[in-house]
Amino acid sequence: MSETGLLAVDVPLAGAGYSVWIGDGLLADCGARIRPLAVGANNVAVVTDTNVAAIYGETVMSSLRAAGFEPVLIVVEAGEASKRLEVVGRVADEMIAAGLDRKSLLVALGGGVVGDLAGFVAAIYFRGIPYVQIPTTVVSQVDSSVGGKTGVNAPGGKNLLGAFHHPALVLADPLTLASLPEREFNEGVAEIIKHAAIRDPAMLDVLDPARRDGLAELIARNVAIKARIVAADERETTGERALLNFGHTVGHGIEQAAGYGALLHGEAISIGLHAALRLSVRKAGLPEADAARVLAALEAFKLPTRVPAGLTTEAILTALGRDKKFEAGRVRFVLLERLGTAFLSPAVTLEDIAEVVEELKSDSSA
């Protein structure tokens, strides 16, 4: 804790690292905290979505104005459908029209979709400008705002178009989580459960579906996990960072096969986690009790653990084949040996995945 009431987690990188600040009230104070990042310019673009703009847009704009900025608000439609190149182009066009240049700043205000989209715009605008992440959802505060992965979806797959572009600063205000509908709050918890499974199983004991306050320490705990992994393998060259994909191979396949928006990201990942747990039991010797413990946490937050009716195994496998986690046609699958110990395995085949997907469609047992 570096300031009273605030927590700070550093993301140390070989180049320029950055800090993630976590604490109640950061949203209203964002202008003063962003001000030191501005060098020679007052122009800043705030990219957000229709839902977040209505609740927090003016708070952020007022804070930026009070700090001497001249902000422009750029609003995209809420939802996964905004993560596409056409929207990237529209956001960039609005920034150009507003006179933003290479010295300007971009602020990503919202959840994972806004963070990925706005971060990608920042990566390519004038060949790269600084940006700040102000995440307002569980999934973005504990996961997607940290690590520098930016991008949008292509018709052939999720996040296939993107760039590594780290934020200059992350400001996470847990008070924003109070405005989330239950479904959107719970889907973000899937990423917390993933972090618990691969690195910190004790977090499973502190998760409470009835709790929406006092979350700063839990958020910081998750950010610290991701920061350590990202620092060890910033651009996914050693395999360490791939551990963050536990549950995502099948999860992304289900998300795409269902049609973006049919399932929330965390809901698809929850099903993917169930598949990965079953494969971990068979391929890595994960104790059944450990798998059941993670599954119980998912179900406590009303997260789906079964493949939705109408989704075919063939459609899911087709989507899997276009996923970034395939190399030269081979699966790169993350398994658990025990809770807290994950590894990248070459032992999982498409046939194994197809078998477990079929089970999750038809098996009514846990």
Distance, CA of 143 to CA of 258 (rounded, Å): 23
Whole-model pTM: value is 0.94
CATH code of the domain in which 328 resides: 1.20.1090.10
Distance, CA of 190 to CA of 194 (rounded, Å): 6
Q: Are 117 and 159 in contact (CB under 8 A)?
A: no
Asked if residue 230 belongs to a domain, the reply is: no
Distance, CA of 30 to CA of 133 (rounded, Å): 11
Which of 140, 155, 179 terminates a domain? The answer is 179
CATH code of the domain in which 168 resides: 3.40.50.1970
Asked if residue 1 belongs to a domain, the reply is: no
Asked if residue 89 belongs to a domain, the reply is: yes
Are 169 and 276 found together in one domain? no
Are 170 and 281 found together in one domain? no
Are 163 and 309 found together in one domain? no
Are 42 and 120 found together in one domain? yes
Are 144 and 253 found together in one domain? no
Asked if residue 165 belongs to a domain, the reply is: yes
| DSSP per-residue string spanning 216-242 | HHHHHHHHHHHHHHHHH-TTSSSSSGG
Which of 137, 158, 179 terminates a domain? The answer is 179
| pLDDT tens, the chain, 366 aa long | 457 789 999 999 987 799 999 999 999 999 999 999 987 789 999 999 999 999 999 999 999 999 999 999 999 999 999 999 999 999 999 999 999 999 999 999 999 999 999 999 999 999 999 999 999 999 999 999 999 999 999 988 889 999 999 999 999 999 999 999 999 999 999 999 999 999 999 999 999 998 888 899 999 999 999 999 999 999 888 889 999 999 999 999 999 999 888 999 999 999 999 999 999 999 999 999 999 999 999 999 999 999 999 999 999 999 987 765 566 557 889 999 999 999 999 999 999 999 999 999 965 444
**Would you call 13 helix, strand, or coil by DSSP?**
coil
Asked if residue 39 belongs to a domain, the reply is: yes
Which residue segment(s) compose the domain that 274 sits in? 236-362
Which of 131, 146, 179 terminates a domain? The answer is 179
The count of other CB atoms within 10 Å of the CB of residue 90 is 14
pLDDT value of position 40: 77
Is the alpha carbon torsion for 93, 98, 102, 107 positive or negative? Answer: negative
Domain count, the chain: 2
Asked if residue 201 belongs to a domain, the reply is: no
Distance, CA of 275 to CA of 273 (rounded, Å): 5
Of 266, 264, 292, the closest CA to residue 278 belongs to 292
Are 144 and 261 found together in one domain? no
Are 175 and 35 found together in one domain? yes
Asked if residue 257 belongs to a domain, the reply is: yes
Are 96 and 11 found together in one domain? yes
pLDDT value of position 281: 98
Are 35 and 126 found together in one domain? yes
Are 260 and 170 found together in one domain? no
Are 165 and 49 found together in one domain? yes
Asked if residue 215 belongs to a domain, the reply is: no
Round to the nearest angstrom and report the end-to-end CA distance of the chain: 41
Are 334 and 241 found together in one domain? yes
Distance, CA of 14 to CA of 16 (rounded, Å): 7
